[in-house]
Amino acid sequence: MEKENLPKLFQGQGGNLIMGQAMDLLDGVLDYKELMMGYACAIKEINTKFEVLDTEFEVRYKRNPISSIQTRLKSQTSILEKMARMGIPPTRENIEQNLNDIAGIRVICSYIDDIYLLAEALTRQDDIKLIRKKDYISNPKPNGYRSLHLIVSIPIFFAESVKEVKAEVQIRTIAMDFWASLEHQIKYKKNVEHAEKVIARLKECAEEIAHVDETMQEIRIEMDGIREETTDVEALYEKLKKIDINLMP
């Protein structure tokens, strides 16, 4: 672009300074966008892996272990707040090294055993590296929170490079997710009277929900163990129904 065509703001010695500052700002914005692009791609990759596992179960066993999948990319505000609490400057290098939950995937299952089945199937894959595992189902948090948390990394293949990107995977049952959603809403209400009683009641609810989860799993296992007598025609019909499963969204 010819110098005379530039806006007056960018002309002269002062304009050179402003131009330099603008370029630095744009470089920072583009660097941040590139960083977040990697995390967004990691979410897509892991989401696809779970969808594949769910489809496999539908074809092989005529049931879907996954009720729903939720994904979340941490906002810039949340990133800056977390880095400030950690007392670490929010540089790209510091963000990549110290934050594991920018990319978030939450998988909601019907039964407790499906949680561990899916976690094992995911971490067994060659391109998934398990960094950390926290089992809040076997060892619930003091408030009653239950879920299985995995920190994993996955390679993202760009046009000219390959980058390992970290993501947090949470796997829980429908009942666990229901409790966590309500607890989250209640937790952020200010000036709650009798807070200790509320906390105690929430924990009681968590224990009741855990009992329901265990009971539902026991019922499913009992039902799976019942073998119905079928004729050859009925057996053939069941196999044909498996073939009819729609494999495309």
Average pLDDT over residues 61-86: 91
Residues ≥6 apart with Cβ < 8 Å to 104: 43, 71, 72, 73, 74, 167, 168, 170
Q: Tell me what the mean pLDDT of segment 108-117 comes to.
A: 96
- In this prediction, residue 225 carries a pLDDT of 80
Q: Strand 103-109 and strand 162-173: pairing?
A: parallel
DSSP H or E run through 142: none
Query: What pLDDT was estimated at residue 1?
Result: 46
Distances (CA, A) of 195 to 89, 188, 205, 206: 35, 12, 15, 17
Measured over the CA atoms of residue 138, residue 141, residue 142 and residue 144, the dihedral's sign is negative
* Mean of pLDDT over the chain: 84
Task: Specify the 3-state DSSP secondary structure of 140.
Answer: coil
Q: For position 212, what pLDDT does the model report?
A: 93
Q: How far apart are the first and last CA of the chain?
A: 49
Alpha helix segments (H runs only) across 62-159: 76-86, 92-98, 112-123
Q: Is the pLDDT of residue 7 over 60?
A: no
* Crossing angle between the packed helical segments 195-225 and 174-187, to the nearest 10 degrees: 170
192-247 pLDDT, tens digit per residue, is 666 678 788 889 999 999 999 999 999 988 888 876 665 656 556 666 665 666 66
**Which amino acid makes up residue 60?**
R
CA 118/CA 235 separation, integer angstroms: 29
Per-residue confidence (pLDDT) for residue 183, from 0 to 100:
85
pLDDT value, residue 54: 95
* φ, ψ for residue 173, nearest 5 deg: -80, 170
- Sequence letter at residue 174: I
Q: At residue 182, what is the residue type?
A: L
Query: Is 183 or 38 the better-scoring residue by pLDDT?
Result: 38
| pLDDT of res. 83 | 87
| pLDDT, tens digit (0-9, with 9 covering 90-100), for 74-96 | 998 898 899 889 998 888 888 99
* 58 noted as active-site residue: no
Residue 10 binned pLDDT confidence (cut-offs 50, 70, 90): very low
Catalytic residue among 4, 168, 193, 238, which? 168
| C-alpha to C-alpha distance for 27 and 249, rounded to whole angstroms | 39
Q: Whole-prediction pTM value?
A: 0.80
Name the one residue in this structure whose structure tokens are 């809403």.
185
Please provide residue 192's backbone torsions phi and psi, each rounded to the nearest 5 degrees.
-80, 125
Cβ contacts of 217 within 8 Å, gap of 6 or more: 111, 112, 113
Q: What is the C-alpha to C-alpha distance for residues 105 and 38, in angstroms, rounded to an integer? A: 15
